[in-house]
């Protein structure tokens, strides 16, 4: 179940960076090869919500995150927003799955419209056209009719819409418990074993 795969992970500018960072940490712990993409606004959100300064240069970001998570060099690759020669930009070398977490409504709309104006949008477009797994984790409230229509369109195209709406039946005691609830659900859909929270009935 935990056979190493390649996962593209994208951070966008929605609130909810703790979800994305915890997911990145867990994927690396599971030995997955991760392609990481993030927007300029995601850098702002990471600083505002977690006090983390994500470097703008790819190699600096890789070094910073490898040290932050104590992972080996090569397991994580960071690509800039205009890195059109990266593997994620082409259907000839797609990742096994992609997660956008957190996902802004703007990114979701662009993916639904097939815009592909930056590497995050293009990577998601590749997932859809190659029939690979695409998981979008929107963090917005309330949803407008436009948001809902875009989510329905993407769901019909095969994407998984997994809103950052944590449950409470596991009796969370901390914010981390709430974050782990969502990350556990993402890991379930990626078919990766997790011990972040007990399963229903266990």
- Cite the annotated binding site for dimethylallyl phosphate by residue number: 169, 185
Check if the beta carbon of residue 45 is closer than 8 Å to that of residue 17: yes
H helices of 10-144, in order, are 17-29, 40-50, 58-69, 105-113, 119-129
Residues forming the annotated binding site?
13-15, 39, 104-107, 139, 169, 185
Tokens of 178: 């709430």
Nearest in space to 81 (alpha carbons), one of 21, 122, 51: 122
Instruction: Work out the angle between the directed axes of helices 58-69 and 17-29 (0-180°, nearest 10).
Output: 70
Which residues carry a binding-site annotation for FMN? 13-15, 39, 104-107, 139
Task: Specify burial of residue 163 (Cβ count, 10 A radius: 0-12, 13-18, 19+).
Answer: middle
The H-or-E segment that residue 33 falls in is: strand 33-38
What is the distance in angstroms between the CA of the first residue and the CA of the last residue of the chain? 19
**Separation of alpha carbons 200 and 202, rounded Å:** 6
- Decide: 16 and 23 in contact? Cβ < 8 Å: no
């Amino acid at each position: 179940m935990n056979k190493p795969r390649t996962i593209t992970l994208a951070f966008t500018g929605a609130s909810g960076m703790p979800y994305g960072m915890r997911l990145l940490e867990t994927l690396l712990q599971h030995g997955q090869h991760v392609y990481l993409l993030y927007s300029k606004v995601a850098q702002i959100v990471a600083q505002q919500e977690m006090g983390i300064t994500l470097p703008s240069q790819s190699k600096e970001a890789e070094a910073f995150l490898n040290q932050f998570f104590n992972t080996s060099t090569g397991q994580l690759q960071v690509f800039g927003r205009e890195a059109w020669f990266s593997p994620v930009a082409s259907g000839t070398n797609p990742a096994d799955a992609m997660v956008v977490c957190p996902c802004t409504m703007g990114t979701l709309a662009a993916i639904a419209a097939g815009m592909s104006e930056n590497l995050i949008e293009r990577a998601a477009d590749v997932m859809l056209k190659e029939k690979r797994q695409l998981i979008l984790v929107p963090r917005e409230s309330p949803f407008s009719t436009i948001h809902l229509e875009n989510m329905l369109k993407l769901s019909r195209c095969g994407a998984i819409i997994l809103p950052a709406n944590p449950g409470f039946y596991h009796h969370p005691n901390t914010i981390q418990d709430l974050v782990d609830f969502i990350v556990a659900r993402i890991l379930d859909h990626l078919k990766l074993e997790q011990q972040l929270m007990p399963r229903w009935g266990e």
